[in-house]
């Protein structure tokens, strides 16, 4: 997964996921590389429409440390 705001790849590791009726969620950590220590956390909440299609209700993330954006011209294209 690509972190568009900071121009780097992320390795995502799900810690918990669940489903209750028409609501699903994922709680996870993210790191700069597979096997690296987590440097952030995120939640993803989904809701199922009457048609059966799942939609994102919320997508929140939080860095464990303050990150700074890449220098001008160093971010994603």
Q: Tell me the C-alpha distance between 38 and 30, whole Å.
A: 5
Domain extent at residue 41:
2-63
pTM over cut 0.75: no
User: Is the residue at 7 inside a domain?
Assistant: yes
Q: Flag whether 70 is in a domain.
A: no
**pLDDT given at position 51:** 97
| Residue in this structure with the two tokens 């390795």, named with its chain if needed | 11
| Number of domains, the chain | 1
- Beta carbons within 10 angstroms of residue 30's beta carbon: 20
Beta bridge pairs of residue 44:
26, 59
Instruction: Specify if 23 maps to a domain.
Output: yes
Q: Which of 75, 24, 18 is nearest to 48 (CA)?
A: 24
Residue with the larger pLDDT of the pair 67 and 14: 14
pLDDT tens sequence across 2-22: 455 555 677 888 889 999 999
Q: Which tokens belong to 64? A: 């464990």
Residue 71 lies in a domain: no
Task: Residue 21: give its domain's CATH number.
Answer: 3.10.450.50
């Amino acid at each position: 997964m690509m972190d568009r705001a900071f121009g780097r790849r992320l390795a995502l590791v799900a810690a918990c996921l669940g489903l209750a009726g028409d609501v699903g969620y994922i709680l996870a950590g993210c790191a700069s590389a597979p096997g690296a220590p987590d440097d952030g956390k995120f939640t993803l909440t989904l809701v199922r429409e009457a048609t059966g299609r799942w939609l994102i209700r919320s997508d929140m993330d939080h860095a464990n440390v303050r990150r700074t954006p890449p220098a001008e011209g160093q971010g994603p294209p």
